[in-house]
Structure 1
Amino acid sequence: MQLSIDPKKIRTDLNTQIRVDWNEEAVKEYAEAMEAGIVFPALLVFYDETNDLYILADGFHRLAAHMSFRPEEPILIEKRLGTVEEARWASICANQGHGIRRTRADKRNAVKEAFLHSEGEMKSNRQIADDVGVHHVTVGTIRKELESTGEIHQSDFRKGQDGRTINTANIGTASPLQERVEEKKTETAKLPQTPPEPCETCGRCRYFEDGICDADDSERLHWDVACSDFAIRVEEAALPEIPPPDYENVKTAVPDKNKIV
């Protein structure tokens, strides 16, 4: 709701000014523009009914210009019902696309105040970035700095846009199955990558083929020795030579005519 009120009723001393850098030159320019008849947007003011307070959330330079030019005249405001804390949050999120361009210090302070505010303490970096109007990487950097100095406490819990609270510590962690797979990979990486050259024959079973010993078992690597005799080379016993058939001297059997069949 928009209405005009006495500007002296508006409180500016309740820690709702988020800007760090005050621009006195802009105040003079605003005052000159007002004197020339330029109509400025309404100030954003929260009204605390319980304490009868008009709390300024957005428009500090405009109010200063108005007070320097015509302090006795009423000023146009957009009135919202709310507390000092609600006005403060609105101030944190203000000045993104209008008014005096925010400095880097202004943006940094807005992010910091967002983290310290009850409305933003459990929000994610991207949510804070959307609210304040900065890049989420900037928010993440400032969060780490504030956590390292103890200005804000470190928490793994964030409130999503759907209102649910999630534990960010579980994001990216491996499942029990994935952990076992990684453990197996680590164990395998520690094993010799090139097996030793085995003997061609074994002193016990006298046989070796495809890297597998007959005396081996499933628990041993295929290149492990199966017994103490594995490394002993033995000579295969020579097989008896069988002469080839002598077809020239083969006698053809002649049937015996006198034999009764």
Structure 2
Amino acid sequence: MSVHIDKIRIDGGTQARACLNEQTVAEYAEAMEDPNTVFPPVVVYFDGREYWLADGFHRLAAWRQIGRTDIPADVRQGDRRRAILHSVAANSAHGLRRTNEDKRRAVLTLLEDEEWSSWSDREIARKCAVSPSFVGALRGASVHGGQIAETRTVQRNGTTYQQNIAKIGEKPRPRVEPIELIEDEPPAKAAPVIDDDPVEYLARLMLHATDDWGRLASALYQVSTAEIREFVLEAIAENEANDGHL
């Protein structure tokens, strides 16, 4: 079947390649000048109104370059989205070999679509003729509507279901141990006031063994070094005079 070249739509996002290779277009055009050279027809999807090109962008460009108006076409029933799904795997087995950027563009075409992004990595890989790991590497960078899809459609053992993937790959949160609250230490109590002369009491403590260190500290707070020295010397002298008794 032939279709007029101007009726074939190439502006519907059905081009899965990153760009056309102009050298390839020129080589095809040169080969097409020979009537004995036969190229395969382009693949188009017809939705009842428009012909959407799904495979054969280099061939169409070459035929246009040599002025061909009616070109051979494999016409299939389907809309623009059917043409897109066909295009993402186009040239995986024939024609100009796809570059990594071509494969990346094909996968992102599905990952950035609201419906297709819910498919599993394996299903998208099958549609794009790439590896599931290639899809998985791109999925994390693919954002639809500002958010990464939280579910995807999975087909397994003949059953189709929705899988929640929101937490896949998420690191578990570390367990937070309860913190034992320690009460603040009570404020230090004011040193007790010595009822008698602190210097005299201090001298008594220094001359006789005692465990009353709190009262000793209190006495130290209330006298100066000079006073201590003076009265201690007096207390020692008095002690000696009284035969060891204050």
Q: Hey, what does 2:33 align to over in structure 1?
A: 35
Greater helix content: 2
User: Secondary structure of the equivalent of 2:13?
Assistant: coil
Task: Call closer, same or farther: CA 1:125–1:87 in 2, change over 3 Å.
Answer: same
User: Normalising by the residue count of structure 2, what TM-score does the alignment of the two structures yield?
Assistant: 0.61
Q: Hey, what does 1:70 align to over in structure 2?
A: 67
| Residue 100, structure 1, aligned to residue 96, structure 2 | yes
Q: Hey, what does 1:46 align to over in structure 2?
A: 45
Alpha-carbon separation, structure 2, partners of 1:152 and 1:35: 50
User: Secondary structure of the equivalent of 2:52?
Assistant: strand
For residues 88-145 of structure 1, the C-alpha deviation after alignment (integer angstroms, 9 at most, x for no partner) is 1111221211111111111001000012345522211111111111111111010012
Alpha-carbon separation, structure 1, partners of 2:60 and 2:8: 9
Alpha-carbon separation, structure 2, partners of 1:120 and 1:16: 15
Q: In the alignment, is the contact (CA less than 8 A) between 2:117 and 2:152 conserved in 1?
A: no
Q: Hey, what does 1:59 align to over in structure 2?
A: 56
| Residue 137, structure 1, aligned to residue 133, structure 2 | yes
Pairwise CA RMSD: 2.5
Identity rate, percent = 37
Q: Hey, what does 2:148 align to over in structure 1?
A: 153
Q: Hey, what does 1:177 align to over in structure 2?
A: none
Q: Hey, what does 1:194 align to over in structure 2?
A: none
Q: In the alignment, is the contact (CA less than 8 A) between 1:116 and 1:152 conserved in 2?
A: no
Alpha-carbon separation, structure 2, partners of 1:48 and 1:150: 28
Alpha-carbon separation, structure 1, partners of 2:166 and 2:88: 30
Residues 1-261 of structure 1 mapped to structure 2, 5 A cutoff: 3-36=1-34, 37-49=36-48, 52-72=49-69, 74-117=70-113, 120-147=116-143, 153-160=148-155, 162=158, 164-169=160-165
User: Secondary structure of the equivalent of 2:46?
Assistant: strand
Name the count of aligned residue pairs.
Answer: 167
Structure 1 residue ranges (4+ consecutive) displaced by more than 6 angstroms after TM superposition? none
Task: Call closer, same or farther: CA 1:156–1:28 in 2, change over 3 Å.
Answer: same
Task: Call closer, same or farther: CA 1:79–1:120 in 2, change over 3 Å.
Answer: same
Alpha-carbon separation, structure 1, partners of 2:108 and 2:165: 22
Pairwise CA distance, 1:25: 0.2
Q: Give the partner amino acid of 2:11.
A: D
Q: In the alignment, is the contact (CA less than 8 A) between 1:89 and 1:119 conserved in 2?
A: no
| 5+ long unaligned stretches in structure 2 | 169-246
Task: Call closer, same or farther: CA 1:48–1:116 in 2, change over 3 Å.
Answer: same
Pairwise CA distance, 1:18: 1.4
